[in-house]
Amino acid sequence: MTDLAFGLTAHKTNAEKLFTACAFSVPDEARRSCGWLQPSVFTDHRYAQFWQAVLDGQDASGAAMDAGIYSSILGSMSDVISVYDFETLARTINEDAYYLSLAKQLSPLSVALEKRNGSKVAEITQAIGSRVMTGNTDVPDIVDIAGEFLNRMECEPDVINTGFLDIDRYLGGIERKTVTMWGARPGMGKTAALLNIARNVARTKKVGFFSLEMSRIKLFQRMACGDAKVDWRLARNGKLEKADKDRLYDATSAISEELEDRLRIDDTGRITMDEIWRRCARHEFDMVIIDHLALAADTHEKETLRLGKISWLGKLLAKELDCSVHFAVQLNRGVEQRQDKRPMLSDLRDSGELEQNADNVIMLYRDDYYKDDNKLMSESEFTVVKHRDGASGKTIEMMYDKKRQQFHHKASI
């Protein structure tokens, strides 16, 4: 074996080991995204046997034990940056198999050249020229990409604005095919902020709001009460004066007429990301909001991997359905143990997977949340702690109307 072939084999075998560890952790996602990867291209027959079993729908633990690699997989886990890197690793395995097949021809070609065996040289070079990379390798070349880029330059940017003007200016709007996470401690106003955004966006685009915690009636009540300038708590308790009821009737009619079928609120309990995916595909939403991430019904033995799985499926949903996906995320309780309780990126629960899968992360903070403060208008901070396409760290100051559950820019108050 040549040095080149030896190096490629070592690189490929390491990719197979890491890919197997990822597939062991999240077999359903790996099978869904990498079903094109053929076990026959694996160098290590044990990993090939395991992957074939996963493709056949077998239990990952049983498949690993049958292939004799269970302990090897557990040992490889520390080398895995993210269990959702399976697509990158699958492409590496497939590409290395192609290049390795070419490298193995170098030695016989060298012999044929040394012996001046013209027919053998022609045979080998023809075989090399006819080899093609199989699998999911439909990768556009730079000319195709350049053409696509120039076409996009002639079009208006296809971004979705939240209606929170300062946030939109800083982010340049929310791009499609991206995931944005809105993090805060319970009671800070995550649901109110996302409902405000849903309302703003639904004036012109289609929004799917998946409420895994509150009923659709309560959410609509918040919108209508905000528009009617009625305290939602009085509406909830049935203590409205006639004038308030009249304003609520008018607000309800106005919301229905304004938004029509562009805002759909789904409050199905125990819903999985697969079911959310099917409903989004049917309605072709421009924006999908999931409130909140941890309440999705997807399962996994480890909570860290369960949350990572949900966020990764949100990423795939955004890319494949050409929409923007937004998750409300509860922050770790540890934020409240610090003197400065403003949240940071590390406060995301099991933040490793969530942080990697998010394109944007925005943290909500209200200082009066930690004080015995009965003010109806609360100063609020929206801090962009992650922005994949630009600088982060920007804090946008807003005002939160507790009575009407609405956020406003300071200048509009």
Q: Is 314 exposed, middle or buried (0-12, 13-18, 19+ CB in 10 A)?
A: buried
pLDDT value for 107 = 58
Question: Over 80: is that where the pLDDT of 3 sits?
Answer: no
Q: What is the pLDDT of residues 249-259, one digit of tens each?
A: 888 888 888 88
Do both 104 and 166 map to the same domain?
Answer: no
Same domain, yes or no: 120 and 7: yes
**pLDDT value, residue 363:** 93
Residue 144 resides in a domain: no
Q: Verify that 374 and 305 share a domain, yes or no.
A: yes
- Print the domain residue range for 80: 3-130
Mean pLDDT confidence for 192-210: 93
Tell me what pLDDT residue 413 has.
47
Residues 25 and 170 in one domain: no
Residue 162 buriedness (CB in 10 A; 0-12 / 13-18 / 19+): buried
pLDDT at 366 over 70: yes
DSSP state of 332: P
In terms of domains, do 171 and 254 share one? yes
Q: Could you tell me if residue 151 is inside a domain?
A: no
> Does residue 20 sit within a domain?
yes
- Do 108 and 164 lie in one domain? The reply is no
76 and 193, same domain (yes or no): no
In a domain, 245, yes or no: yes
Q: Pick the residue with more confidence: 80 or 385?
A: 385
Q: What is the CA radius of gyration of the chain?
A: 27
Same domain flag for 192 and 82: no
Q: CATH number of the domain at 104, please.
A: 1.10.860.10
**CA–CA separation, 295 and 306 (whole Å):** 11
**Do the domain assignments include residue 154?**
no
Establish if 138 belongs to a structural domain: no
User: Mean per-residue pLDDT for 162-167?
Assistant: 90
Asked if residues 25 and 56 have their Cβ atoms less than 8 Å apart, the reply is no
Whether residue 141 is contained in a domain is answered as no
Q: Quick one: pLDDT at residue 233?
A: 74
* Percentage of the chain lying above the pLDDT 90 cut: 22
Residues 236 and 305 in one domain: yes
249 and 101 belong to one structural domain: no
Residues labelled catalytic: 213
**Cβ neighbours of 132 (radius 10 Å):** 7
142 domain residue, yes or no: no
- pLDDT tier at 132, thresholds 50, 70, 90: very low
Give me the number of domains the chain comprises: 2
Give me the mean pLDDT over the 382-390 stretch: 88
Q: What residues contact residue 408 under an 8 Å CB cut-off, 6+ apart?
A: 398, 399, 400, 401
Instruction: Tell me which of 7 and 110 has the higher pLDDT.
Output: 7
Pair 220, 349 in one domain:
yes
pTM: 0.69
109, 241: one domain = no
